[in-house]
Chains A and B, each alone.
Chain A
Amino acid sequence: MFKGILKEQTIQVGIGFVFIVVLLGTFILPEWMSNNFMYGLSRGLAVLGLMILWRTNLVSFGHALYYGFGAYAVAMAQKYLGVTDVFLRIIIAIAAAGLLGFVLGFILRRYREIFFAMLSLAFSMVLYGLLAKAEFLGSTDGMSISPSTMFGFELGRFGLFYFIGFVVILSLIFAHAYLRSSLGHLTTAIMDNEIRVEYLGYSVEKAIHIKYVISACLAGGAGGLMAAALGQVDPDSMVLWSVSGELVFVTIMAGLGNILAPFVGAIFFEFIRTYAYEFAPQAWQMIIGGTLLAIIFFLPGGLWSLFQKINPFKKEKK
């Protein structure tokens, strides 16, 4: 599955990109900018998950379900099991979201288009409702997350940033390996013609289910990382429909052209939001909406299409 993957241009560029972001964030940039990079990388994982689904024409309006579930899994593991180790935290976040995705996948794999999108939203709102009412999980106030550790030592902000970079690189490698595989190529094939895929002997529902679980794992991982980075989880900032909306927003803004696009888009989004809030605290959503409109009108392929026009990697789509 991973044979020769490190020699592939997409992965080499991806690793270089993450290195630059992490180095900038830890050594050069001020803390507020560094935070934007860190949150952008973390959130980019969830966007990568959405992008993988989107390549089959499946748009989830409720991916905050897995993002929030991963984040709350980290909070609960800390509260009930005392887990603060960052490796365990990310494994728990991914596993919890993956398991939930596996269960719900049996329902969602039968739906397409708006029904898939709205059913995803419905499930995320069910979780939101449960979390907002569950006092043992902090209700609407949420729960705080203690600093992450690694092998018993506190990781610190820089250490966590390196760890996030490491997880992002692993995710890029996994996502690329999946998309270049026969199973991954079914992504586009299913979008083109489900009947033919069935007559080639493969279950479309099974292919979608696998893709859905991968997507859930990535979103759960993103939630786990964000929980560790923010030190706080609550239903409004992790599971509410507007969080799902932001993820869809970033996916459109980033474009589907490359697995690196979600991370570029997510970082870009963090900066737009910061500056929009700074310049127009009462109307920052209008600036964000305007940005999305500009991208849809002038860069329908997303930000990545701009890179494709000006950089030498434009031929590769993985």
Chain B
Amino acid sequence: MAIKEILKTSNLQKSFSGIIAAEDINISVKEGEIIGIIGANGAGKTVFVNMITGYLKPTSGTIEFNGSDITGIKPREATHIGVCRSFQVSQVFMSMTVKQNLMIAMSLAKKSGSQLLNPIDDENLSKECDKILKQYNIIKQKDLIVSTLSQGMRKLLDIAMAVVGEPKILLLDEPTSGVSVEEKFGIMDIVISALKKSGTTVLFVEHDMEIVERYVDRVMAFYQGQIICDAPPKQALKDKKVIQYVLG
């Protein structure tokens, strides 16, 4: 059976006051793939992620998800259809505890309408929440206020919050940026193994080529808003253009 195409972009372009940030982006992503997005700063990686997840509206071009046109949808609509993301700078609720963060995320993912008026500390939800905290190895920190956590812990929480909505495709924007060398492989092991288990398609922006080589099926290299290489990691990291414009 052929693997289904989950995401497709055609001639995607984004410009800010005439300055082109992304141009002619044509990609096709299959279900279950893990893709690394690489490129120098300002190459258009985050702009690409922002367009897919509804944070930015493309200037032109189309985005198709599971065969439906989702160009220019709102962030919450993207979440509802299963396109979720984490952020370069963790977007978590800083004044709350780790568990409260995840409980809110789970509550919004699993409840709707008048159910949202039920108490948040539902026993079943709490148990499920502990299970996820354990899976992401942040159970010991569950009662700590998020602002007191390390960057690595915040990243894990950020990703866990994106995952509880059971996304079909997850876009991670630099999941290991600001994370110590000791922590980064640990974090990626936890995240990728959890996402592989659930069959989630993953696109992640990354600067660390060791991470890219180790975890991805395919690499998309960006340069000046365009994709200059789309190939398996071994091939991509030897590509002349990638070496010249990305790896330097």
Contacts and interface: CB of A to CB of B under 8 A. Distances in A.
A199 B50 CA distance: 12
Interface string A153-182: 000000000000000000000000110111
**Closest 3 pairs between A and B when the two form their complex, measured CB to CB:** A201-B79, A182-B107, A192-B93
Contact of A201 (B93, B95, B109): B109
B96 A192 contact: yes
A1 interface: yes
Interface string A180-192: 1111111011011
A185 B95 contact: no
A203 interface: yes
A175 to B, nearest CB: 13
Nearest to A186: B104
Contact of B120 (A3, A181, A202): A181
Interface of A: 1, 3-4, 177-178, 180-186, 188-189, 191-193, 195-196, 198-203
A185 B84 CA distance: 21
Contacts, number: 87
Interface stretch (B35-43, B111-119, B133-141): B111-119
B201 interface: no
A195 B103 CA distance: 17
Contact of B118 (A181, A191, A192, A193): A181
A226 to B, nearest CB: 29
A245 B53 CA distance: 42
Interface in B73-110: 74-76, 78-80, 84-85, 87, 91-96, 100, 103-105, 107-109
Given A182-B111, A199-B79, A3 B119 contact: yes
B104 A199 contact: no
A265 to B, nearest CB: 23
Given A199-B53, A201-B79, A182 B165 contact: no
A189 B93 contact: yes
A188 B199 CA distance: 33
Nearest to A5: B119
B22 interface: no
B39 to A, nearest CB: 23
B92 A196 contact: yes
Contacts of B105: 200
A181 B85 contact: no
A182 B120 CA distance: 5
Q: Name the prevailing secondary structure of the A interface residues.
A: helix
Given A185-B100, A185-B104, A196-B161, A202 B76 contact: yes
Given A1-B118, A182-B118, A189-B104, A199 B91 contact: yes
A77 B245 CA distance: 75
B143 to A, nearest CB: 13
A27 B84 CA distance: 61
B161 A181 contact: no
A79 B45 CA distance: 66
A3 B75 CA distance: 33
Contacts of A192: 92-96
Given A1-B114, A185-B120, A188-B96, 18 more contacts: A178-B117, A182-B108, A182-B116, A185-B100, A185-B103, A185-B104, A189-B93, A192-B93, A192-B95, A195-B91, A196-B93, A196-B161, A198-B74, A199-B53, A199-B75, A199-B78, A200-B161, A202-B108
Nearest to A181: B117
A291 to B, nearest CB: 29
Nearest to B86: A199
Contact of B116 (A183, A193, A195): A183
B153 interface: no
Interface of B: 53, 74-76, 78-80, 84-85, 87, 91-96, 100, 103-105, 107-109, 111, 114-121, 161-162, 165
Contact of A200 (B53, B95, B108, B117): B108
B110 to A, nearest CB: 9
Nearest to B78: A199
Contacts of A191: 95
Contacts of B100: 185
B55 to A, nearest CB: 8
Nearest to B147: A192
Interface hub of A4, A195, A196, A198 (most chain B Cβ within 10 A): A196
B120 A198 contact: no
Contacts of B119: 3-4, 180-181
A201 B162 contact: no
A176 to B, nearest CB: 10
Contacts of B95: 188, 191-192
B170 to A, nearest CB: 12
B13 to A, nearest CB: 24
A199 B75 CA distance: 6
A189 B117 contact: no
Interface hub of B75, B78, B114, B161 (most chain A Cβ within 10 A): B75
Contacts of A200: 76, 79, 104-105, 108-109, 161, 165
Given A188-B95, A192-B93, A199-B91, A177 B80 contact: no
